[in-house]
Amino acid sequence: MLAEIITIGDEILIGQIVDTNSAWMAQQLNSAGIRVKQISSVSDDREHILQALAEAKKRADIILITGGLGPTKDDITKKTLATYFNVGMIENQEALANVTRIFAKYKRPLLEVNKQQALVPGNCEVINNHNGTAPGMWFNEAGKVYVSMPGVPFEMMYMMEEQVLPKLKNTFKLPFIMHKTILTVGEGESFLAERIADIEDNLPPHIKLAYLPKLGQVRLRLSGYGEQETSLANEVNYYAGLIVDRVSNVVAAEDDIPLEKAVLDKLIAQGKTLSVAESCTGGYLSHLFTQHAGSSQAFLGGAVSYANELKESILGVKNETLWQYGAVSEEMVTEMVQGALSNFKSDYAVAITGIAGPSGGTDEKPVGTVWIAVAGPDNISVKKYTFGNKRKQNIERTAITAMGLLNTLL
């Protein structure tokens, strides 16, 4: 079963907002066994909307439309749908009662323009909007279902969850879709592909493998399509197991979670704590951990020792080490990680020092030179990396790499 999502309105096309609605809808549809064939953002323009509807109809059975339902003049979705279906507009009593109720609740006068929100194309079934004034609309024409919903995220989300998805499940016989994601860190897409080439080649046609790379990490996602939930799950898990066994040295999680969450989960499961000493990543690694609820169970905190003085005062690195080897050196990062372990009293520690750039590099230590140390109760690993010359990427890549090293140590 195929669906398409059409988003109407200029906010997305001028880049003022990011289209988070479509991603959320796509997730919901996929979980319900409905594949999304295309997502289109089109302008508040009658001809353009008509064209988008006609194109979507050729490819999909279900067409979900958001946006363009407000009371202002530039919101033209309803009239365009009436034109598309070649029907007139009628006043819907349920929708009128809803608008009246909301205006009474907020003690606002009901203007003519608000009453018009109850006007809908004659061939639609109204989907009551419990969280706003614009009604949703369900059309069933020539075997295709069209649903028009408001663009306000929470209004759309409640309407989808409470009414549209259950109604779609009743209307269509849906296949079962199962995704399984394996998070790897520290090996490139093409090397992974080579290591698991035979497994990939032998996948049955209804199971697909996708490589989703992102700064030092690659997500391997298996997607299975079938009729029978249990057997499909078993099959997808079987192939996931083959892949995990093959590349186990770089697997961080067998789930679709961020790397730092995988590391935190391991620490929490082992009842261990972590502290950090960050120089060139400047708090980014700490931020990655602490954005997750519950991180305080394992993450104690640490130092952002940007200035050399702070490396000495907070981490207790020796002044001689600084002037003898420099701030970006194996000796320095080793003292930093030891300083974090002893001063912050954590089981594990990560220390990072490097030159994020764009300036500050030398011939011997160019921009992108980074030393990372990870240490546990009885082991320490210190490595040097040479990344590129882009500051933001150096910061991100360093944090990801440090977490990869920590993941291996755990």
Q: How far is the CB of 95 from a copy of itself (least distance, A)?
A: 15
Q: How far is the CB of 74 from a copy of itself (least distance, A)?
A: 6
* Nearest by Cα to 66 from 41, 101, 85, 91: 41
3 state SS of 266: helix
Report the alpha-carbon distance of residue 40 to residue 48 in Å, rounded: 11
Q: How far is the CB of 311 from a copy of itself (least distance, A)?
A: 9
Q: How far is the CB of 241 from a copy of itself (least distance, A)?
A: 21
CB 117 within 8 A of CB 99: yes
Q: Which is nearer to a copy of itself, 61 or 87 (CB)?
A: 61
User: CB–CB of 369/328 below 8 Å?
Assistant: yes
φ/ψ of 2, rounded to 5, equals -110, 140
The alpha-carbon radius of gyration of the chain (Å, integer) is: 28
Q: What is the DSSP letter of 405?
A: H
CB of 87 to a copy of itself, least distance (A): 25
Residue placing its CB nearer to a copy of itself in the complex, 301 or 326: 301
Is the peptide bond prior to 150 cis by the omega test (within 30 degrees of 0)?
no
Q: Which residues contact 234 (CB under 8 A, 6 or more apart)?
A: none
φ/ψ (deg, to 5) at 204: -65, 155
CB of 258: closest distance to a copy of itself in angstroms? 12
Decide whether 8 or 81 has the Cβ nearer to a copy of itself: 8
Q: Which of 299, 260, 264, 302 is nearest to 282 (CA)?
A: 302
Spatial contact of 47 and 83, defined as CB atoms under 8 Å apart? no
C-beta of 109 vs 143, nearer to a copy of itself: 109
* CB-nearer residue toward a copy of itself: 204 or 213: 213
Nearer to a copy of itself, 87 or 179 (CB): 179
